[in-house]
Amino acid sequence: MSIFMEKLKKDQRLLSIISFSLVSGWLLSVVFEGQILYNLMKNVNTEGMTHNTIAVLCHFMGLFISGFFIKKQVTARKAMITSTMICILGSVIFFLPFSMLWYISIGVIAFFAGAYIVSWSFYFKIYSQRGQRFKTAASVLIYSNMLMILINGVAVNISSLFGLALACILLVAGLLLTFNLEASAKEKDYCTVQLEKSHQEAFTSLRSLVILCLFILIITINSGLMYRVVLPAFSHHKLLTSYYWAIPYIAVLFLLKSSKNLINQGYVLHIALAMIGVSYIFFMWLDRSVRSYLMINTLMLAAFGVFDLFWWSILAEFFDYSDNPGKILGIGLSMNVLGISIGGMVGENLFNTGETYLNASLIALIIVCMMVVLLPILHMQLASFFKNDIFLFQSIDMEKHHQKIVVSELKQNKKFTDRETEIIELLLKGYTYKAIAKHLYISENTVKYHVKNIYQKLNINNKMGLIKIFSEEEEKLV
């Protein structure tokens, strides 16, 4: 075990992924729409939504506020350790007889769970280079939801207290791993491109972030409707819903993460929107059988997986335009929580007023139509902002020795100069023209001149073409 931990300490990216996934698995199974609290409340004949409302609102506040106070990695590590300890103590309270203390604990641990996520963003930024952040986001979402399925299944089908005990074990394991995270980055080993931001760049990045947050807020209203309308409609299939629910979500994340070819994110997001629309149409028309559940849930959760990975990865790309990644990730994910909260309240209101499933589906379809209008605007804004920097949905992530082989072959076949070869390597790492100029001590116009020559020799028009060529060459090597 000690040898394994020593290896893990050396790979801070993997260590941060595992520690976060453990805590997030607890969060998804206990605090945030988790089945453990739902079942514990039922056991004490308290089936209202008060506990969930408290949890969602406090988690929103933890995400939104914490980034304004946690500004350095050393502070972030302390906040992660403190937050995890508070969450452990707060979770233990649910083993005690029901009292008002339960509600206080729900609010406290939900808030500090948000603070934990905000703090973790520093490790997300520093130890996952640009080409890795997409896969890091996919990994934490996959592992967290796998743990959530396991614990929720135990809580629903065996014992809610047993499920709570397992969730607490995840927290303890996450805490132990967090102690092994570095308090400050070793700059020589982990470096990110520092960008000099003009006022125009700062304004553009803020505008892009606002549009992205608006997109997250609106689309996740459908997630809230799912929690309050769709899932309860199939609750009589207890065993199936407890284990299958997030399987399509995990499957699509794994598929996107494993894909070696570049994915046109505009097409993928439009397909995901269509899947949400079709799933709610099926929800209106089909019965509440197992077959209907499999069709509806598969389409819906796969689509939500696409969108979650999309904004996690895009929020991560904003890290390089801010000194505080916690503020970026915290505000972005708080919009996710707020959207789910709004959708949940709408869903609750529909049931309380005796409305049918038709009304909920119509609301969902209206949201989809709004997203069809907003998505091209979002896509153009992000593409314009990041056009010389990174790729919106997935960038190349070749092994270093593969990249060297491909670069060497292209240099020989296309007669690249040494300077052009250096620029190609930096382009593949996600450097901007300005960052390349600074790194190579040349002017930005000189960089543009070399890039133009590179594109002409490769017969391509943009950096996407360069990435495509390297992806194809890597496949030949594998």
Instruction: Note whether 433 and 307 are same-domain residues.
Output: no
CATH number of the domain encompassing residue 40: 1.20.1250.20
- Is the pLDDT confidence value at 209 over 70? yes
- Is the pLDDT confidence value at 343 over 50? yes
pLDDT band at 475 (very low <50, low <70, confident <90, very high): low
Q: Which pLDDT value is given to residue 355?
A: 58
Whole-number Cα distances in Å, 319 to 12, 108, 121, 309, 315? 18, 28, 9, 16, 7
Q: Which pLDDT value is given to residue 225?
A: 85
pLDDT tens string 141-183: 999 999 999 999 999 889 999 999 999 999 999 999 999 988 8
Name the more confident of 461 and 86. Answer: 86
- Is the pLDDT confidence value at 431 over 90? no
Assigned domain for 207 exists: yes
Max mean pLDDT range (37-41, 106-110, 362-366, 423-427): 106-110
Residue percentage of the chain with pLDDT more than 90: 37
Q: Which pLDDT value is given to residue 465?
A: 74
Assigned domain for 137 exists: yes
Cβ partners under 8 Å of residue 394, min gap 6 = 134, 256, 259, 262, 263, 265, 313
Assigned domain for 287 exists: yes
Q: Which domain holds residue 332?
A: 194-392
Instruction: Note whether 111 and 33 are same-domain residues.
Output: yes
AA letter at 131: G
Instruction: Note whether 387 and 404 are same-domain residues.
Output: no
Assigned domain for 187 exists: no
pLDDT tens string 14-51: 999 999 999 999 999 998 878 898 888 888 776 666 78
pLDDT band at 353 (very low <50, low <70, confident <90, very high): low
Q: Which pLDDT value is given to residue 164?
A: 94
Assigned domain for 186 exists: no
Look at the pTM and tell me if it is higher than 0.95.
no
Whole-number Å distance between alpha carbons of 436 and 431: 6
Instruction: Note whether 296 and 433 are same-domain residues.
Output: no
pLDDT tens string 249-268: 999 999 888 875 545 556 78
In the numeric block, the tokens 């004490």 are attached to 44
Q: CA torsion, points 348, 350, 353, 358, in degrees to nearest 10?
A: -150
Of 75, 287, 134, 310, the closest CA to residue 212 belongs to: 310
Assigned domain for 286 exists: yes
pLDDT tens string 387-410: 443 334 444 445 555 667 777 777
Per-chain mean pLDDT for the chain? 83
Q: How many domains does the chain have?
A: 3
Domain boundary among 392, 410, 426: 392
Instruction: Note whether 173 and 238 are same-domain residues.
Output: no
Q: Which pLDDT value is given to residue 401?
A: 57
AA letter at 387: K
Max mean pLDDT range (43-57, 326-340, 349-363, 378-392): 326-340
Residues 230-259 as b/e (b if ≥16 CB within 10 A, e otherwise) read bbeebeebeeebbebbbbbbbebbeebbee
Assigned domain for 74 exists: yes
- Is the pLDDT confidence value at 64 over 70? yes
Whole-number Å distance between alpha carbons of 391 and 386: 7
- Is the pLDDT confidence value at 124 over 70? yes
